[in-house]
Amino acid sequence: MRVDRAREAALDALAACRRNGAWIDGALKQVLKRDGLSGRDAAFASRIAYGVMQNRIYLDRCLARCLTQRPEKLEPLLLDILRIGAYQILLMDKVPVNAAVNEAVEMAKADGPLPRDIVTRDAIDNAFTIDMAMGGSSNTVLHTLAIAREAGVEYDLQRINDISRRTPNICKVAPSSRFHMQDVLRAGGVSAIIHEIARIPGALHLDAMTVSGKTLGETVEGCGIADETVIHPLENAYSRDGGLAILFGNLAEEGAVVKKAGVHPDMMSFRGPAVIFESQEEACEGILAGKVKSGDVVVIRNEGPKGGPGMQEMLAPTSYIMGQGLGAEVALITDGRFSGATHGACIGHISPEAAEGGLIGLLRNGDMIEYSIPDRTLNACLSEEEIARRRADWKPTYNKVSSSWLSRYRQLASNASKGAVLRRGE
């Protein structure tokens, strides 16, 4: 396989898409024909191009594949793979991709700064602060908690709540607004958001080191808002607190996550009867069949790390609720998680999950559920005595899996409040 030519063909096709607005299919076909690539070479170029376009390229697998072809040239191939990934990440033409990749390799050779030098408690605080300012992503909570654990940083959900309460929401992107990420980039990008939030004393750790080799404060120096309709100044924030909230209560003793920036104002506090579904698929069928009415609280359980297993993203149930015009009349709670395109009164990551004996697994149809996002609470209106009676009769239920690996994952997975990471053996 001619790795270099396949790589260059993929990057040329991607460049044509960016330069001329061409579709990747046509651009790739022209480049492959121009370079006379076919068979395995064409297939490899296509995998690179489509992977970058979809932002789902698995660089480690790609590197391993290349190393089987060219094992004697480790460093050049490492640079090749890093360039492929950097092509997607470094969006502006003025950013020299090769220089950035070379610097990353040199930093690793020089023994630092290494990932654990950068992923500190202060850096994680900064990450959540920016997430809150941008309207919040519930998946950020899950993934960042997992990263913190691997970095050896103790981090809990209450700390995230504290950050949310002191961070204004100054930017919203689709589906919570009409703006998209390209609009944010045009308005100054994430750097402009950081620079604006930094006006609040103590909101950010500006001395925290970043992957650029500069502190956060140095990185955003001089960056301002270019369009205040997209990125609001502090004086005109969407809300005085952040886009995410962590809820606690008897239904979420270890926490639950809601993207409050996407919740209708009328749904910030709510009470309604539970309509229970044992999986995402069952919920989709039930919603489309009209089983969910105005005023209900949809409960989707057994979709957590153990119950799923694997905690798949759920977009369809919330889309169906919105499609039936119930977005401001129905709430949804789950031990699973949501897609980034989800909006509405959707509370996820409930911990403990149903599969480990959480109260969500003991609920019955008609039980009254209530939450208050301003008060950060989520509860089932059940007495302690009734909960105890139900718990005595409870038996764990799981979605069936045929894979032995998924069965092992189920046994080792922690819940969402811990990042759904695998428990370490003692």
Query: Annotated catalytic sites, by residue?
Result: 339
Residue ranges of the alpha helices (H) in 375-423? Answer: 384-393, 404-412
Q: Which stretches does DSSP call E strand in 109-158? A: none
Q: Where are the alpha helices (DSSP H) in 232-351?
A: 280-288, 316-323
What amino acid occupies position 155?
Y
314, 336 contact by CB (below 8 A): yes
Between CA 34 and CA 113 the distance in angstroms is: 42
State how beta strands 313-314 and 337-338 pair: parallel
Please give the Cα distance from 335 to 333 (Å, whole number). Answer: 7
Residues 98, 86: Cα–Cα separation, whole Å: 9
Is the distance from CB of 354 to CB of 294 less than 8 angstroms? no
Largest CA distance in the chain: 75
Under 8 Å between Cβ of 308 and 302:
yes
- Please report how the helices 280-288 and 316-323 are oriented relative to each other, as an axis angle in degrees rounded to 10: 10
> Is 145 in contact with 419 (CB distance < 8 Å)?
yes
CA dihedral 342, 343, 347, 351 (to 10 degrees): 30
CA–CA distance, 242 with 239 (Å, rounded to integer): 7
Give the DSSP letter of residue 172.
Answer: -
User: Tokens for 73?
Assistant: 């040239």
Torsion of CA 119, 120, 126, 132, to 10 degrees: 80
Angle 212-218-223 from CA coordinates, rounded to 5°: 105
**Bond before 352 cis per omega within 30 degrees:** yes
DSSP state of 247: E
User: H or E segment at 109?
Assistant: helix 97-109
